[in-house]
Homo-oligomer: A and B are copies of this chain.
Amino acid sequence: MFELSQLRCFVAVAEELHFGRAALRLNMTQPPLSRQIQILERVLDVTLLERSNRAVRLTPAGQRFLADARHLLKLAESAAALARRVASGKAGSINIGFTATSAYSYVPALVAACRRELPDIEISLKEMVSSDQLKRLDSGEVDIGLLRPPIPRGNLSSFRVTAEPLVAALPGGHPLAQADQSRLEDLASEPFIMYEPYEARYFHDLLVELFSRASLVPNYVQHLAQIHSILAMVHSGVGVALVPETALNLRFSGVVLRPVLMQWQRPAELFFVWRSDNDNPLLPVIAGIARDLAARAGSIQSMDRSIQ
């Protein structure tokens, strides 16, 4: 098979229609150029150029091949450029896993920021629970996980991107909804809609600890995994619930969210997680974007909370 250097030789000769000038352009002398063209023609088994002693002309096959040669050279050039861009993290693709709850606010913000700063990358998003994300991170199916603690030791790196308080979700007409804020013990005495212990393990365990520390035993009337399902239950008066503040973004009508007074509290945290040995060049870039976003969102969040 021929080589790209031979295509460059051929294109030069085809454009100059003169071996001497073409050789000059290629920074070589004429004899090796003649030989390269001959080799190319022998490999192809096609006469590309008609050399009368006075002029060089393209044969029809040469004309056709010239177009293809130019095309190939251009493609080779852009393949190299693309590889460089991927290596430098300006292009490429990345797989991101995220939890259902993170989709309410953080994920859209992150994706928007990436699209703005890295317009040429391809982001593939997959919603899954934290434990599945950890599995896919390990297998390499997912480059970035946006998930809830705990993060196992091992070859994973991570940093926190959101930490939001839990708020009470109350039916619009509920007596507790009249006050500006609720107390945890008031919620515990109401019918309480609880998180499903496997699908929504993080929130389940978080609430269990919360009530346990406050020595409260709530009256669980329903277990659900998805926050929007919980809010729907609250809306229809089944009970009250505790949800992360980001539930505000759902704008669920007929449900009011109120800060909750707690002695001991822990925010709902979301982490940006990746395998330390993942060499996707986009990873550090996107991690940077995610970190900036977390910092900025953190300050806005606290502002929001102060004016609320």
Contact = CB atoms under 8 A, between A and B. Distances in A.
A65 interface: yes
Interface stretch (A2-10, A189-197, A235-243, A284-292): A2-10
Interface string A66-78: 0011011001110
A44 interface: yes
A182 to B, nearest CB: 49
Contact of A72 (B48, B65, B75): B75
Contact of A68 (B2, B4, B82, B92): B82
Interface stretch (A83-91, A123-131, A149-157, A254-262): A83-91
A307 interface: no
A135 interface: no
Contact of A87 (B47, B71, B83): B47
Given A68-B75, A72-B72, A76-B1, A60 B82 contact: no
A213 interface: no
Interface string A28-63: 000000000000000111111010000000011110
Given A47-B87, A61-B87, 4 more contacts: A3-B3, A46-B86, A60-B86, A61-B83
Interface of A: 1-5, 8, 43-48, 50, 59-62, 64-65, 68-69, 71-72, 75-77, 79-80, 82-84, 86-87, 91-93, 279-282
8 contacts: A46-B86, A60-B86, A61-B84, A61-B281, A68-B79, A69-B79, A72-B75, A72-B76
